[in-house]
Amino acid sequence: MPLTPKTTFADLGLIEYETAWNLQERLFNRIIALKKSGASETDNYLLFCEHPHVYTLGKSGSDKNLLLDMIQLQAKDATFYRTNRGGDITYHGPGQIVGYPILNLEAVVKGAREYIEKMEDAIIQTLRIFGIPSGRLEGATGVWLDTDKPGRTRKICAIGVRTSHWVSMHGFALNVNTNLQYFNYINPCGFTDKAVTSMSVELGQPVDMKEVKSVLAARLAEVYNLDLTPVEASGFNNIHL
């Protein structure tokens, strides 16, 4: 499989969810337009960021899985968005690495299931490097711990994507130093019987976000065969925001 050309990698830092979503849409539509024009190569992007407290609902999710009303959301300094990604409801907040691969999938995978599985693989490999064993849970996307121990199974990374014309957007949310209290106000990903955890909880100490991002970007580049070109957030924002 050839390396994906022009895969720009940027860590956007703390950014409002709506701003990041609008950015994704522009990049997503740009790649689709290039493909429709018959271009032999397209732009590709891998974006990392953190969001202020926000709950997002996938297109197949249920509003009932948000356990707060709008006034309560405001009291928690949180916002809520219905999105066009797959999956149900999840939480994003500081201390969580949110990753948005916006890729021409024809260059990296043979199918949508493989795309998600490779994303899970990269996260599982990253967690292993930090001493956290993890894996998949049958019938669910994302990355989980203790899947063979009923009553102890817990989620550490949520995944929800959108694909159209073989281009991807949205992605994953890995809990690193996340305030897990915010998950108490939803049924995460629609589950009422599964717990949520973070790297810091599992390791018993805060984790260096920069180090996790470095390892995770390398693992994603490896599983998708991406040729990453890192750019500073300021330079990327000047061009694309």
What whole-number distance in Å separates Cα of residue 221 and Cα of residue 223?
Answer: 6
DSSP secondary structure string, 30-84? HHHHHHHTT-SS--EEEEEEE-SSEEEE-TT--GGGB-S-HHHHHHTT-EEEE-S
DSSP summary character for residue 185: G
What whole-number distance in Å separates Cα of residue 17 and Cα of residue 21?
Answer: 6
Say how many C-beta atoms besides its own lie within 10 A of residue 214's C-beta: 14
Determine the 3-state secondary structure of 98 from DSSP. Answer: strand
What whole-number distance in Å separates Cα of residue 50 and Cα of residue 113?
Answer: 26
Determine the 3-state secondary structure of 215 from DSSP. Answer: helix
Question: Containing H/E element for 172?
Answer: strand 167-175
Q: Which of 47, 156, 161, 189 is catalytic?
A: 189
Say how many C-beta atoms besides its own lie within 10 A of residue 240's C-beta: 17
Determine the 3-state secondary structure of 8 from DSSP. Answer: strand
List C-alpha distances in Å: 201 to 108, 110, 214. 34, 36, 20
What whole-number distance in Å separates Cα of residue 30 and Cα of residue 102?
Answer: 10
Catalytic (active site) residue 189: yes
By annotation, the residues acting in catalysis are: 189
